[in-house]
Amino acid sequence: MVGEKTEDKAVGRTRGGLNTKLHAIVDGLGNPVEFLLSAGNDNDCVHAIELLENVELRGSNVLADRAYGAQSIREYISEHGANYVIPPQSNVSNPWPVDWYLYKERHLIECFFQKIKWFRRIATRYDKLDTSFLAFVHLAAIAILLT
């Protein structure tokens, strides 16, 4: 069977070797809400809508970095009754306005990723299978919530 070895592993080749990306959503307090794994060589915006489908967006502000500024993502957020605070990339021909004061709250997701890297098993991806890796990500998130 072709691809059997990497069938259930979100691992992709990057400059640093084989890598996995962990996409996450946190609430307004920095508490984890949703996770998704993807291969390290996948673009971030490819998995954004799949991640957002599992969360109620109505009446909220979605803060994200420039990698998530694709028109399809922004339309999805608007269609579900939320506002997006995503700065446009420098090469966009028709940039949209950004509330830079609100965008500063995006540090909550960066703080969450810093906390989750306290767990060596996550930072170095000891687990081969996605299910066991994601299970430990959930355990680490619970430990972060309890502290």
Lowest mean pLDDT segment, chosen from 6-15, 16-25, 30-39, 55-64: 6-15
Q: pLDDT-based confidence at 130, cuts 50/70/90? A: confident
For residues 18 and 21, what is the distance between their CA atoms, to the nearest angstrom?
10
How far is CA 7 from each of CA 3, 10, 120, 129, 133, rounded to the nearest angstrom? 6, 8, 25, 9, 15
pLDDT digits 0-9 by tens, 54-109: 899 999 999 998 989 889 999 999 999 999 999 998 888 889 999 999 999 999 99
What pLDDT score was predicted for residue 99? 93
